Amino acid sequence: MDVDGEEEPDTSSKKRSNEDMDINLSTSKKKAKKPVRREDSPILKKLIKELSAPIPQQTSSGSTISLQTFPDMNIDSVNFCELNDRIIKAEDDNKRTTLELIHSYYYFGKGHRKRKEKAIKIFKFFDGVGTVNKVNCIKTFSASTISRIIKAEDDNKRTTLELIHSYYYFGKGYRLWFDHYKKTYSDDTSNSLVNDKIREYFPDQDKTSKANLRKRKEKAIKIFKLFDGVGEVNKVNCIKTFSASTILRLGVEDIDYVIAKVLKAG
């Protein structure tokens, strides 16, 4: 009761507000996932398994993807403009084949759904009239639909490996120049000098182009570190299920862990 003529505080609403806050905090805690240990990470386990496998050999049927290599690459033959162009082309090709693969899966799924709906209607009808084996009249997927998916998968795998390959050689070019400067200078100075060397190939770049080039360089360094660490560039051919972007999302410590495990397995 309000004796003094003043409004009493709404304690019930405050209580509800506090309860709601407690519920929200409890829910957020439940949603927060515990960090996965590296040894328990499914992604790292799978990558280690693939990189620990023998390098596929080129067969007469050409079932293994053949990638261009540069065994004689040295500091004098490094051309960052050509290496950058190669990455750009590989990125565009990989994007195109990825979209084609998604497109193929989409129409396969669309056809599957339509056939399933038709099958249910036909089944109900013929089952009702007692001739259930008439359901066998429903056609299966056409060979052309399956072939389209297989081709899209093969094309996407090829462009994925080519993209990883392209990053690797840009990274190798960076490493050759870094090791050259490291004979005289510190790590930081050597890195700065390599960046200057790269910029010499792109004198008229705007800010966006410079940012894109910097990102490609950082990706290339990471890819080179991984595959150079596990033995050689041909290890790229061991990749079966990983895209370049998936590998690039790994941290430096993750890559060090993968390298150590692959070398130990070998």
Q: How far apart are CA 165 and CA 162, in angstroms?
A: 5
Locate 71 and state its tokens: 């065994």
Residue (of 93, 71, 90, 92) closest to 82 by Cα position:
90
131-160: per-residue pLDDT in tens? Answer: 545 445 445 556 677 788 889 999 999 999
pLDDT at 241 over 50: yes
Contacts of 75 (CB under 8 A, 6+ apart): 176, 177, 180
pLDDT recorded at residue 204: 87
pLDDT recorded at residue 31: 57
Q: How far apart are CA 54 and CA 266, in angstroms?
A: 9
pLDDT band for position 220 (cuts 50, 70, 90): very high
Q: Quick one: average pLDDT of 104-128?
A: 71
45-87: per-residue pLDDT in tens? Answer: 999 999 999 988 754 445 566 777 777 899 999 999 999 999 9
**pLDDT over 90, % of the chain:** 56
> Helix, strand or coil for residue 10?
coil
**pLDDT over 70, % of the chain:** 73
pLDDT at 103 over 70: yes
pLDDT recorded at residue 111: 73
